[in-house]
Structure 1
Amino acid sequence: MFTGQQKLIIQRFDPDIHDRSAFSCQIADSLQIYFTGEEFIRDVVDLKILGGWVAADESGKVFGYYTLGMRTLDTKQIPNPEQLEFPFKTLNFVILSRIATCDDLRGTGYGQGLLFDAVKTAYELGSPLGAQGVYLEARNDEVIRIYENFGFFSLPSKSERMIYPFKDFLQ
Structure 2
Amino acid sequence: MPTSFHSKPVIEPLSKYHNRAAFDCGVEALGRYIWQQAMQDAKRKIAATFVLTGDRPESIVGYYTLSSTSVNVGELPEQVVRKLPRYPLIPATLIGRLAVDRHYQGRGYGELLLVDALRRSLILTEQIGSAAVIVDAKDDKARAFYEHFQFIPLISYSHRLFLPMAAIEDYFAE
TM score, norm. by length of structure 2:
0.88
C-alpha contact (below 8 Å) 1:93/1:126 kept by paired residues = no
C-alpha contact (below 8 Å) 1:43/1:50 kept by paired residues = yes
CA–CA distance in 2 between the matches of 1:84 and 1:10? 33
Q: Secondary structure at the match of 1:103?
A: coil
Say if 1:22 and 1:7 are closer, same or farther in 2 by CA, change over 3 A.
Answer: farther
Is 1:19 matched with 2:13? Answer: no
C-alpha contact (below 8 Å) 2:15/2:39 kept by paired residues = no
Q: Secondary structure at the match of 1:163?
A: strand
Residue 51 of structure 2 aligns with an amino acid whose one-letter code is V
Query: Which residue of structure 2 lines up, in the alignment, with residue 9 of structure 1?
Result: 10
CA–CA distance in 2 between the matches of 1:13 and 1:170? 26
Deviation of residue 118 (structure 1)?
A: 0.8
Residue 40 of structure 2 aligns with an amino acid whose one-letter code is R
Query: Which residue of structure 1 lines up, in the alignment, with residue 76 of structure 2?
Result: 78
Q: Secondary structure at the match of 1:170?
A: helix
Moved more, 66-75 or 51-60: 51-60
5+ unaligned residues in a row in structure 1: which ranges?
none
C-alpha contact (below 8 Å) 2:134/2:160 kept by paired residues = yes
C-alpha contact (below 8 Å) 1:123/1:133 kept by paired residues = no
Pairs aligned (count): 166
Say if 1:19 and 1:91 are closer, same or farther in 2 by CA, change over 3 A.
Answer: same
CA–CA distance in 2 between the matches of 1:118 and 1:99? 9
Moved more, 81-90 or 136-145: 81-90
CA–CA distance in 2 between the matches of 1:127 and 1:77? 25
Aligned-pair RMSD on alpha carbons?
1.7
- The percent of aligned pairs where both chains have the same amino acid is 26
Q: Secondary structure at the match of 2:125?
A: helix
Deviation of residue 6 (structure 1)?
A: 5.1
CA–CA distance in 1 between the matches of 2:159 and 2:125? 22
CA–CA distance in 1 between the matches of 2:85 and 2:13? 31
Residue 130 of structure 2 aligns with an amino acid whose one-letter code is A
C-alpha contact (below 8 Å) 1:31/1:98 kept by paired residues = yes
Q: Secondary structure at the match of 1:91?
A: strand
TM score, norm. by length of structure 1:
0.89
Is 1:152 matched with 2:133? Answer: no
CA–CA distance in 1 between the matches of 2:131 and 2:118? 12
Residue 91 of structure 2 aligns with an amino acid whose one-letter code is N
